[in-house]
Chain A
Amino acid sequence: MPANKILIVDDEQAIVRLLSMSLKSDGYETFSAFSGEEALDVFEKADPDIVVTDIKMPGMDGLELLKKIKELDPEKEVIIVTGHGDIDSTIMALQYGASDFINKPVRDEALAIALDRAKTKISIREQLASYTHDLEDRVADATRQIRRRSNFQRLLIHSSHDAIVAFDQDWQIVVYNPEAARIFGQRGRDVLNKMTIDELYPPQLAQYFRKEAENKADDREMPWQEMVLETRSKKQIPVRYATNVLHEKNEFMGIVNFFQDLTEIKRLEKELIQSERLAAVGQTVSGLAHYVKNILIGLKGGSYVVDVGLQHNNMEKLTTGWQTIKKNIKRVADLTQDMLSYSKERKPEPEPCLPNEIVDEVVDLVKDFAASHNIVLSKTCDPQLGEMVLDPRTVHRALLNLVNNAIEACLELEEENRKFVVEISTKKGKDGSAVFAVKDNGIGMDEATRARLFTPMFSSKGGKGTGLGLLVTKKLVEEHKGTIDIDTSLGYGSMFTMRLSEKPENGRNVNDKG
C-alpha cells in the first residue's frame, strides 16, 4: 500500500492551503488542520500515512503533536517544519522520533524530497515487516518439516522388526527400540541414556564391539553374523546381527547394532526337519510292511514248529521253533527301536566312556553270527584312544548298525572262494576325535546305490532290510555333531568311517531323553 494520505498542520491557514494544493496536484490525498488539537482529531479520523506539521503553533505545538502521534502510532512518519536555525527544537523533535525536517519557508522541492524519504522509509518498513512475517512462516515451516522427518525416523526405528540399539561415543545407549526391549528384556526408559553397553550386553559381546570400534577407522559395515545371545536375564536367544561403527570426520561417533530374533525361524527349521523325518517314516511304510511280513512269516513258522515239538515232546523241534520266535521278537524290537530313534529328537547324553570297549561289546554281539557265515571279524583298536566324553549309546548303536551292514554286504556277494573279512578299527583323530572305521570286502555299492544310501525307504537288501538302518545311524551321528564317510566299490567292498568329537558345549541333558 503506497503512502498516499498526508495531513498538513499549520496555524497559518494560507500555508496549509498552498501546500495542500501543491500536494494534491502531485497526486496525494491531503487533510488539513490548523492547530495541534485539531490535527489529533483529524489524525484519528483520517489515519494519514505522513504528517507535515509546523513546529510553532499556539496551544499544542508541533513537538507536542509529534509526541502524541508517536504515542498513538510509532510507525507514522512525521515531518517537522522549523524556523531557520532553531537547533533546540530540532534536537527535541529528533528525540521524539521525527522523520525529517524542512526549513521555513517551505519550498516545494524540499517538501517533495522529505515526502519521498518518508515514503521510502514507510515502504522499507512495510517490506521489512512482510519479510519478517515470511521468515517466521518459513522457520515455522522448516521446523514442522524437521519435526515430521524426525518423527518419521523415530517411528521407523520404533516400528522396526529389527532390534536397533545405538551407542554414542561414550558407549551410552541413545537408541533402543521396542524390539530391542523385547529381546533384551529391559524397558526403554530404564535403558535409554541411562545404561552403557556393558550394562546391556553380555560382557563378551560388549568387549567385542569396543574392540571393533577401535579397529575400524572407516565406516565399513560388518557382515551379518549369527550367534546365541545370552541376555542379562539368562535367556538364550538365537540372533542374527549387524554392526555399523559410525564416524564423523574420522572421529568415533558411536556404534549401531541391528538384531534379528531367529527363535521362530530356528523353531520352524527344527519343525521342518522333524516333519521331513516323519514323512520319511511314512514313505518307508511299504518297505516296512514287507519287513513286518517277513517277521510274521518267521513267527508263524516258529510257532508251528513249537506246536509240533509240544505234540511229540520233541525237544529239538521246541528249541528250533523257539529260537525262530525269539529271533523274530528281536527283529520287532529292533525295528521299533529304529523307528523311534529315527522319528524322535534325541539329544546325545555324553559321559566319559572308553570307545575301544564299546567296539569290544559290538564285536561280542555279532561274532557268533559272523562265524556261522564264515566271516572273519578283525578288530584293531588304537591304544591312544583312551577315555572320552561321548554318548556311548550313540557309538554303540551306530557302530552295531555299520557292522551288521558290513556282514550283510558279505552275505550278499555270490562268490564262493572269497574269504570274507569285516575289519573294525579305531583311531584317535588329529583333532582329538574318535574315529571308527568298519571295512568289509563284501558286495560294495555302485554309484546309484551309494547316492541313495541315506534316503528313507531305500534298501538294497530286498525284503531283509527296513531301509531305516543307515538313516538311523546317520541321524545318531549328526545329533552327536559327528560325520560319516563312505568309500565303496561295487564287487570289492565298502568302508564306513565315523568321526565323533567330544562336545563340552552340550552338557548332559537328563530331562530330554529320546
Chain B
Amino acid sequence: MSKKVLVVDDDPDVRSFVVTVLEENQYTPLVAVDGVEGLEMIEKEKPDLVILDVLMPRGSGIRLYRHLKTDDTLKTIPVIMFTGIALRSFLKSQKALEEFKGEKVPEPDIYLEKPVEPQELVDAIRKKI
C-alpha cells in the first residue's frame, strides 16, 4: 500500500506538477486547493505527509501549519513547506506570530523554495517517509 501525500496549493500548475512527481514515485497523491479544504482532507484521509504552500486564499498555509503542529492527533504528520516565499521571511513571520500568540511551534521539517527539481522534492519526501 503506497503512502498518501497531500498537496495543498492554490496554483493548479503547482498541483499538477507535484501530483505527477508523486505518481512517478509510487506515492498516492491527494490534493486540496486552500487551507480550509486542506484541513478537511487531513482529518479525513490522515495522509503520511503534507506538502504545503504558504500563500493561499481561505486559510493560509501558515494558519494550517500552526494548526497541525498544535493539534495532538495531527502534530506527528511531517510537513514540507513548499513555497515561493523565502525561508527567512517565513521564519520572521513565525517569530512575530509566536510573540503575538504566546505559543511556540517547531520549525517546519523541511522548507523548499520554489522552483525545485522533481528529484529535490522526492529526496525531501524520502527523508521523512
Which residues of A are in contact with B by a Cβ distance under 8 Å? 290, 293-294, 296-298, 300-302, 304-305, 308, 317, 320-321, 324, 327-328, 411-414, 416, 462-463
Per CB-CB distance, the 3 closest pairs between chain A and chain B, nearest first, are A301-B17, A414-B58, A297-B115
* Given A411-B57, A414-B58, A297 and B16 contact (CB-CB distance below 8 Å): no
Task: Give the distance to chain B from A6, nearest Cβ to Cβ, in Å.
Answer: 123
A299 to B: closest C-beta gap in Å = 9
- Whether the pair B57, A412 counts as a contact (CB closer than 8 A) is yes
Q: Which residues of A contact B12 (CB under 8 A)?
A: 324
Quick check: is B97 within 8 A (CB to CB) of the other chain? no
Decide if the interface of chain A is mainly helix, strand, loop or mixed. Answer: helix
Residue numbers in A under 8 Å from B16 (CB-CB)? 301-302, 305, 320-321, 324
B118 within 8 A of A: yes
CB-defined contacts of B55 to chain A, threshold 8 Å: 462-463
Q: How far is the CB of A321 from chain B (nearest CB, A)?
A: 7
Q: Is B114 an interface residue (CB 8 A)?
A: yes
6 A–B contact pairs at CB < 8 A?
Answer: A297-B13, A297-B114, A305-B16, A327-B13, A416-B58, A463-B55
Indicate whether A297 sits within 8 Å of B14 (C-beta atoms), given known contacts A304-B20, A308-B24, A317-B20: yes
The answer to whether A304 touches B21 (Cβ under 8 A) is yes
B108 within 8 A of A: no
**Given A301-B16, A305-B17: A293 touches B59 (CB 8 Å cut-off):** no
Q: Are B115 and A300 in contact (CB under 8 A)?
A: yes
A321 to B20, CA, bound (A): 10
CB distance from A45 to the nearest CB of B (A): 123
- If A298-B13, A301-B17, A302-B13 touch, does A414 touch B24 (CB 8 Å cutoff)? no
Closest chain-B Cβ to A96's Cβ sits at a distance in Å of 125
Q: How many residues of B contact A (CB 8 A)?
A: 21
Could you tell me the distance in whole angstroms from the C-beta of B54 to the nearest C-beta in chain A? 9
User: Which residues of B lie under 8 Å from residue A290 when comparing CB positions?
Assistant: 84
Find residues 44-102 in chain B having any chain A CB closer than 8 Å to their own CB: 55, 57-59, 84
**Chain A residues near B57 (CB-CB < 8 A):** 411-414
For B115, the chain A residues whose CB sits under 8 A away are 293, 296-297, 300-301
A302 x B84 contact (CB < 8 A): no
> A412 CA to B34 CA in the complex, in Å?
11
CB distance from A156 to the nearest CB of B (A): 66
Chain B's closest residue to A443 (CB) is: B57
Chain B residues with CB under 8 Å of A301's CB are: 13-14, 16-18, 115
**Nearest Cβ distance between residue B85 and chain A, in whole angstroms?**
8
* Assembled-state Cα–Cα distance A412/B10 (Å): 11
Give bound CA distance, A463 to B113, whole Å. 13
Q: Which of the residues B13, B18, B59, B114 comes within 8 Å of A414, measured between beta carbons? A: B59
Q: A290-B84, A414-B59 are in contact. Are A324 and B13 (CB under 8 A)?
A: yes
Bound CA–CA A293/B86 (angstroms): 12
Instruction: Known contacts A293-B114, A297-B114, A414-B59; decide if A304 and B17 are in contact (CB<8 Å).
Output: yes
Residues in B neighbouring A294, C-beta threshold 8 A:
84, 114
How far is it, in angstroms, between the C-alpha of A324 and the C-alpha of B9 when the chains are bound?
A: 15
Cα A346 to Cα B13 in complex, Å, equals 35
Residues in A with CB closer than 8 Å to B24 are 308
Cβ B84 vs Cβ A297 within 8 A:
yes
A360 to B13, CA, bound (A): 29
Q: Which B residues lie within 8 Å of A300 (CB)?
A: 17, 115
Which residues of chain B in 10-31 are interfacial with respect to chain A, using CB atoms and an 8 Å cutoff? 11-14, 16-18, 20-21, 23-24
Other A-B contacts than A297-B114, A301-B18, A324-B16, 15 sampled, CB-CB below 8 A, are A294-B84, A297-B13, A298-B11, A301-B17, A302-B16, A304-B20, A308-B24, A317-B20, A320-B16, A324-B12, A324-B13, A324-B17, A327-B13, A412-B57, A462-B55
Output the residue of B17, B23, B57, B58 with the most chain A CB within 10 A.
B17
Nearest Cβ on chain A to B89's Cβ, whole angstroms: 11
Q: How far does the alpha carbon of A294 sit from the alpha carbon of B53 in the complex, in Å?
A: 13
Name the distance in Å between B53's Cβ and chain A's nearest Cβ.
Answer: 11
A328 touches B20 (CB 8 A): no
CB distance from A9 to the nearest CB of B (A): 131
Neighbouring A residues of B14 by C-beta, 8 Å: 297-298, 301
C-alpha spacing A424/B46, complex, angstroms: 44
Residues of B within 8 A of A304 (CB): 17, 20-21, 118
Least CB separation from B18: chain A residue: A301
